[in-house]
Structure 1
Amino acid sequence: MADSPDLLLLSRWLTPVPGFLVPLVGAGARIGYVPTASSIYPDQTWLDLDRATLEAQGFEVLDVDPELVSTATFTRALGEIDAIFVAGGNVFHLLGALRQTGADRPLVHAVRHGLPYIGASAGAAVTGPDIAPLHLLDDPSEAAPLESTAGLGLIDVTIIPHAEGTVGGRERIDRTLAQYPDHPLQLLRDDEALVFSGGRRRIIPG
């Protein structure tokens, strides 16, 4: 088991990915791309941009969507890739889909046992202890059925992406802070990234 999971959590831009991933798994790594958070939206342009960016960075990108394959197939895929990338969209739908399909458990197990995790926006927010504070940024009513807002628990803070207000305006960020003063929130701007590695946490340019 890894001493601690390796996670790169992004608000928007993928610039930090090579600097994070290449030292861990080498150049040309196979990245499993999870588009699930956006499956409820007809426009998925940003997913195409993600994939193109990762490929331009020299990585091989393979879609791994738990909504389209069995839990066994998803679990097997986790053993055949060098890193996992969980894309943005609606964090409530993402968590609901992971729970409904049973993909949450093998995903957490793989990351805790050394599979590097890269999450963007919703993919970053789902890693924390509770996604409830995200309800002003994402609409829970659009989501797959969700009995609990408890997140994947890979980290001890809830990421609030787009903290400068690029999605929905700064007023929603301020309301989130006011409504959840007792939650461990980590604001993350689009030009920032949060790295968890070696038991340490640090913010780097995004």
Structure 2
Amino acid sequence: MLKVEMKDIVEAYGRIRNYVQKTPLIYSPETSERTGSEVWFKMENLQPIGAYKLRGAMNNILGMSDEDLKCGVVAASAGNHSQAVAYAAKLKGVSAVVCVPESTPMNKRYGAIKHGARLVVYGPNYEDAENRAHEIEAEEGRKFVHAYESNETIAGQGTVAIESLLEKGDFDAILVPTGGGGLLCGVAIAAKAMNPDIKVYGLQTNTSAPWDKSFHERKLNN
């Protein structure tokens, strides 16, 4: 069951802060002028794997016991989460397997391999890759690290908001790019705890909007 509170995000931040970059919050004059608002960007592309996904992956692995990690970890991803799990596992000397669909870009595949993961390319879409990852979880006794639907992942991603609001606490709104919803949930929990008046918006492209569909139908969708 998913249940994340502000204390979980604070604990996650204390756990991962020595393993991830405290990325800069940069003011954008051009975007601010175009929108008529003061716009700042949180530069998570400067993380070692180029994305915020490292925060959730790192929190998962650092929160596991040595016994849990003995057989290693496994994950499914369409790209960035695979690199994040590979990188986090390498830092802790843990074996990692990442399953990606055939559509995953080659640079994402190479990123996971570069950080020492065993890459499994399986099926045309994410759901196929995740099913294969769960098979490997059962076959090899590995711990599954979910890209977005876990308390540890959500808490880790929520540390983005802690850093941002500690640096600049007077935002009226936060706009969050949204895939599965892990970053959006974590940021919303932290932001509302720190400033109840802040508005948090999740943004998705209209060609790929699983979170939006799930939200309106009140059920999980792939």
TM-score (norm 1): 0.28
Normalized against structure 2, the TM-score is what? 0.27
From the two aligned structures, give the one with the greater helix fraction.
Answer: 2
Q: Please identify which structure carries the higher strand content.
A: 1
> Greater RCO between the two (CA within 8 Å, min separation 6)?
1
